[in-house]
């Protein structure tokens, strides 16, 4: 689908109706009008247009309350498709999904470092092409990129682990595929994926924290991502914990990331036990009964808990969702983490903040990349800055 067509799918009233159908299908035109306060003629006109565009479909008649039985409406979920991309820092992964997030195709490519901007973009394009199908059926490409992203221009300003700067992702990919492209920081995409697909609709505010190769967070308020004044909200891993600590990949000293990331866990294991292990191997050793490695993961949980207590004091979210490779060790990490949060948080009500581990697994971020397109179609286009 070319970029202009995507824009035609977007309007406030269309988004209200589409979101109502998405959340309540099957639903009648009359029920949509009743629950959205839009007039029946407006609903009928927009639904007719959405059916013609192929994004909504009709089903068998619903039950009658005395009059004519209503025709029910559904999202035509495989009428259009979206490509989601999780880009870096170690590999590029792409998926092709329908409008409800069902995954149909996958492709992945390794990122070999050192790497240049042009080489990175070449890998990105080649991997997308492996899932790219009929263009008139794809509404766009969402890309979750590690590091600092300018979401307005779709530029990767700083990708610290890849040691790259100013990658013009949006402009290059749009030129290559002639399709709408949205680029977002990977931690914020993870938060959007959780908000969209993770079953957290009851929570008005949520912070999702991704702890893996790096550490980042995304803040979602009333279903919208919070970017901050200069677009760096959520750089949770670069909160300074120890002014005399190790140098972080961002160049600062003593960031939280230098204590709790996968690389940090491996480094601490090396220092304490003279062992050349990855964080995954530390976890596996703990599972096999090595108490020293289990204690190291418990200590990591305490450190994460301190960071989360600071996060609660700053944002006071209703819920915190944790993900990333490090949280695969939740068996050892979570009890200490939760206890630390309870000890450190200031008020009894704040101690009740829900802290949980994602159930979307490794797909949370890439599904968030898909949601970058879906949210502009299904939700009214009002952004919190």
At 12 the pLDDT is: 80
At 382 the pLDDT is: 42
- Considering the chain, what is the average pLDDT of its residues? 90
Domains 81-191+365-378 and 201-359 share a fold: yes
Split at pLDDT 50, 70, 90, the class of 383 is very low
What does the alpha-carbon distance between residue 33 and residue 116 come to, in Å, rounded to a whole number? 53
DSSP letters, 130-150, are: TT---GGGEEEEEEEESSEEE
Split at pLDDT 50, 70, 90, the class of 384 is very low
**pLDDT tops 90 at residue 375:** no
At 159 the pLDDT is: 93
pLDDT above 70 as % of the chain: 93
At 62 the pLDDT is: 56
182-209 average pLDDT score? 87
Query: For the domain bounded by 3-75, which CATH number is listed?
Result: 1.10.10.10
Of residues 4, 164, 197, 161, the one with CA closest to residue 84 = 197
pLDDT above 90 as % of the chain: 70
**pLDDT tops 60 at residue 292:** yes
359-381 average pLDDT score? 86
Split at pLDDT 50, 70, 90, the class of 202 is low
136-161 average pLDDT score? 92
CB 168 within 8 A of CB 111: no
Split at pLDDT 50, 70, 90, the class of 381 is very low
- pTM of the shown model: 0.83
Query: For the domain bounded by 201-359, which CATH number is listed?
Result: 3.30.420.40
Domain ranges of the chain: 3-75, 81-191+365-378, 201-359
Of residues 89, 242, 236, 256, the one with CA closest to residue 158 = 89
Return the minimum-mean-pLDDT range out of 55-64, 310-319, 347-356.
55-64
Distance of CA 80 to the CA centre of its chain: 21
CB 368 within 8 A of CB 144: yes
Strands 181-185 and 205-211: unpaired
DSSP letters, 309-342, are: HHHHHHH--SEEEEESGGGGGHHHHHHHHHHHHH
Split at pLDDT 50, 70, 90, the class of 229 is confident
CATH 3.30.420.40 fits 81-191+365-378, yes or no: yes
**pLDDT tops 90 at residue 59:** no
**pLDDT tops 90 at residue 24:** no
């Amino acid at each position: 689908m070319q970029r202009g067509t995507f824009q035609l799918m977007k309007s406030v009233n269309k988004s209200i109706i589409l979101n109502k159908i998405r959340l309540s299908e099957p639903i009648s035109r009359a029920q949509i009008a009743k629950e959205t306060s839009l007039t029946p003629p407006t609903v009928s006109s927009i639904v007719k247009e959405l059916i013609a565009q192929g994004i909504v479909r009709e089903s068998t008649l619903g039950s009658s309350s005395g009059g004519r039985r209503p025709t029910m409406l559904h999202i035509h979920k495989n009428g259009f498709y979206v490509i989601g991309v999780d880009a870096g820092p170690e590999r590029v992964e792409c998926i092709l999904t329908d409008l409800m997030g069902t995954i149909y195709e996958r492709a992945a490519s390794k990122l070999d470092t050192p790497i240049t901007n042009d080489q990175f973009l070449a890998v990105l394009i080649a991997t997308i092409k492996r899932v790219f199908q009929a263009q008139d059926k794809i509404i766009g490409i969402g890309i979750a990129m590690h590091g600092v992203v300018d979401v307005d221009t779709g530029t990767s300003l700083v990708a610290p682990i890849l040691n790259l700067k100013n990658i013009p992702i949006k402009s290059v990919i749009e030129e290559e595929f002639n399709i709408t492209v949205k680029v977002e920081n990977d931690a914020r995409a993870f938060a959007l994926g959780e908000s969209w697909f993770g079953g957290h609709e009851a929570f008005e505010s949520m912070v999702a924290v991704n702890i893996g190769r790096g550490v980042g967070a995304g803040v979602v308020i009333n279903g919208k991502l919070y970017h901050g004044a200069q677009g760096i909200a959520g750089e949770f891993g670069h909160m300074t914990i120890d002014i005399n600590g190790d140098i972080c990949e961002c160049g600062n000293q003593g960031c939280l990331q230098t204590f709790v990331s996968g690389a940090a866990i491996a480094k601490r294991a090396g220092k304490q036990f003279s062992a050349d292990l990855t964080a995954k191997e530390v976890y596996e050793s703990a599972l096999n009964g090595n108490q020293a490695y289990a204690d190291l993961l418990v200590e990591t949980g305490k450190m994460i808990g301190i960071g989360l207590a600071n996060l609660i004091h700053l944002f006071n979210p209703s819920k915190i969702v944790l993900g990333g490779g490090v949280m695969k060790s939740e068996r050892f990490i979570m009890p200490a983490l939760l206890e630390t949060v309870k000890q450190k948080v200031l008020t009894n009500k704040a101690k009740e903040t829900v802290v949980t581990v994602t159930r979307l697994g490794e797909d949370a971020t890439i599904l968030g990349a898909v949601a970058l397109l879906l949210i502009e179609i299904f939700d009214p286009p009002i952004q919190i800055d």
